[in-house]
Structure 1
Amino acid sequence: MPHSPEEKKRAITRLRRIRGQAEALETAIDTGASCSQVLQQLAAVRGAVNGLMAEVLEGHLRESFGPTAPPGDADEAIDEVAALVRSYLR
């Protein structure tokens, strides 16, 4: 999870962009936009969510394994991250 004010602001900005894209997708479907327009909007939403996921995951990895990581069981932390990635890829 983003911890610094800068990271939080960046994540919230991404979420607001995703919300706007989802609303545009809803409007496109509601107004009967062409399939290609809907698919393009879906791809944009997916890309935005993937970007946010990558950013949050990177922060989590740095926090778990970086120089400031708390001492502990690395295997447990790796299992946690692997489970997160598996659940996201479903």
Structure 2
Amino acid sequence: MSEKKACPCCCEKHTARSEEEKKKLINRLKRIEGQIRGIIGMMENDAYCNDILVQSAAVNAAVNAFNKELLASHIRTCVARDIREGKDETIDELVATLQKLMK
């Protein structure tokens, strides 16, 4: 088994994803990163507040879309597997995650 690199957020658990899924999610994040860089450029160029706010809303929508995709995958794979294995604490973890996402 290959050794996992340390996660910058100090994660204790890991999820194996297909290369296709990983690429798809990373591409979404890179697009979001580009949107953020665009907003920074707008700030540096003293863009009109409303224009910046519209772009910020677009970033929020993109992050929400990313979260929905990752959450659906998490439920189909990790949560379903853990429930089948009798690890009911995963349900509490999912509820806590949903509460954070819905703030």
Q: Is the TM-score greater than 0.5?
A: yes
**Residue 17 (structure 1) aligns with:** 31
Q: Is contact 1:11-1:52 (8 Å) kept?
A: yes
Quick one: higher RCO (CA 8 Å, sep 6+), 1 or 2?
Answer: 1
Q: Give the AA of the match of 1:4.
A: S
TM-score relative to the length of structure 1: 0.86
Give the root-mean-square deviation of aligned CA atoms. 1.5
Q: Identical aligned pairs, as a percentage? A: 37
Q: Which runs of 5+ in 2 are unaligned?
A: 1-14
How many aligned residue pairs are there? 86
Q: Judging by fraction of residues, say which structure has more helix.
A: 1
TM-score relative to the length of structure 2: 0.76
Write out the 4+ residue segments of structure 1 that deviate beyond 3 Å after TM superposition.
none
**Residue 86 (structure 1) aligns with:** 99
